[in-house]
Amino acid sequence: MIAPALLWTLVFFVVPFAAMVLMSLAHLEGREVVQGYALDNYLRIFTDPSLRKGIFVSLEITALVTVLSVLLAWPLAWIIASRVPPRWQRLVLLLAVLPFWTSYVVRSYSWALVLGEKGVVMNVLVGIGLLAEPVQIMATRAATVIGFTHFFVMLLTLTIYSNLIQLSPNYARAAEDLGAPKWKVIWLVILPLTLPGVMTGAFLTFVLCIGDYITPQILGGNNELTMPQLIMLQLGRRGDFPMASALSIVLMAIVTLAYLASARWLRMERV
Partner 1 sequence: MRLLSWAYLVAAFTFILLPVVVLVVFSFQDSRLPVPPFEGPTLKWYAEILADRALMEALVNSLIVAFVSALVALVLGFLAASGLARVYLPGTAAMRALLIAPMTVSYLIIALGLLQMFNTLGVRPSLWVTGIGHVVINLPLCFAILYAAIGEHQKNALKAARDLGASEVQVLWFIAAPMLAPALGAAFFLAFTFSWDEFIIAFLLTRFDVTLPVEIWSMLRSGLSPATNAVGSLVFLVSVGIVLVLEFTLFRKKSK
Binding to partner 1, residues 207-236 (CB under 8 A): 207-208, 210-214, 218, 228, 231-232, 235
Which 65-84 positions form the footprint of partner 1 (CB under 8 A)? 72, 75-76, 79-80, 83-84
**Minimum separation from the CB atom of position 167 to partner 1 (A):** 18
Cα four-point dihedral sign 209, 23, 235, 51? positive
The footprint of partner 1 on this chain (CB under 8 A) covers a number of residues equal to 73
Q: Which is nearer to partner 1, 197 or 206 (CB)?
A: 206
Q: How far is CA 253 from the centre of its chain?
A: 16
CA dihedral 139, 141, 144, 149 (to 10 degrees): -150
Instruction: Return the ∠ at Cα 70 (arms to 202 and 271), rounded to 5°.
Output: 55
Name which of residues 14 to 53 contact partner 1 (CB under 8 A): 14-17, 19-20, 23
When binding is defined by CB under 8 A, the residue of 35, 99, 135, 253 that contacts partner 1 is 99
Under the binding rule (CB under 8 A), the answer on residue 262 touching partner 1 is: no
Name which position in 52, 173, 182, 184 contacts partner 1 (CB under 8 A). 182
Task: Write out 195-215 in H/E/C secondary structure.
Answer: HHHHHHHHHHHHHHHHCCCHH
**180 lines the binding site for partner 1 (CB under 8 A):** no
Determine the 3-state secondary structure of 134 from DSSP.
coil
Cα–Cα–Cα angle for 264, 265, 270, rounded to 5 degrees: 95
Q: Of these, 102, 136, 166, 222, which contacts partner 1 (CB under 8 A)?
A: 102
